[in-house]
Amino acid sequence: MDQQPGNAAPVGDEVVTVYDAEGHETGTAPRSRVYAEGLWHASSGVLLRSLDGQRIYVHRRSPAKAVFGGMHDCLAGGVVDPGETPADAAARELGEELGVHGIDLTPLARVSWDGEWDGKLLRCHLFAFEGRWDGPVVHQASEIVDGWWWTEAELRAHLTDPAWPFAPDSRALLADFLTAAPR
């Protein structure tokens, strides 16, 4: 998989994996181009539960985030980088955003999302994993400004409220979670 012509990334512009609509890798491109042109890419996230399964970690994204800044989320995650699998990206992002390392991750959901943000088309293959943890959570200040534990019922109540400012890609990814019986 080679970087495609015209895909040189400006300094500080992360290069990410580009996919087709069916989910096959097709190359790489700078993140700015992926967002500007609505190119298909992939994102992975981790739903972090307490060891007893009764609580889920929820956080508020930094207002400075390029996408969904200032919104709430229950997935620590980000784009899949070149050479990474979605599981690799999920583990990396969990460590970067919440300071949680070395836990087992179980696949939870996968959807292809054709959405919109700030008037721009966003196309993303979304992967969710679940992990269990009761240790400390350490936020990466540039990405997360606050976080707390909620019960599944509290999270479901907020997710079903369309006025609650929640990352729309995670809301789409967790649609089946919302309709499934509580664990």
Whole-number Å distance between alpha carbons of 124 and 111: 8
Domain locations along the chain:
15-177
The phi, psi pair for 36, rounded to 5°, reads -65, -35
Q: Where are the beta strands (DSSP E) in 95-151?
A: 106-117, 120-132, 144-151
Percentage of residues in the chain having pLDDT higher than 90: 74
Whole-number Å distance between alpha carbons of 89 and 100: 13
pLDDT-wise least confident of 6-20, 50-64, 96-110, 157-171: 6-20
Q: Considering the entire predicted model, what is its pTM?
A: 0.88
pLDDT at residue 173 is higher than 70: yes
Mean pLDDT score, 150-177: 88
Give the domain 15-177 fold. Answer: Nucleoside Triphosphate Pyrophosphohydrolase (3.90.79)
Task: Give the per-residue pLDDT at 2.
Answer: 43
pLDDT in tens, 7-43: 454 556 899 999 999 999 999 999 999 999 999 999 9
Q: What band does 117 get if pLDDT is binned at 50, 70 and 90?
A: confident
Task: Give the per-residue pLDDT at 175.
Answer: 79
pLDDT at residue 120 is higher than 90: no
How confident is the prediction for the chain on average, in pLDDT? 89
Task: Give the per-residue pLDDT at 65.
Answer: 87
22 is in an annotated binding site: no
130 is in an annotated binding site: no
Mean pLDDT score, 79-96: 96
Which two structure tokens, joined as six digits, stand for 57? 């970690």
Percentage of residues in the chain having pLDDT higher than 70: 90
Task: Give the per-residue pLDDT at 42.
Answer: 95
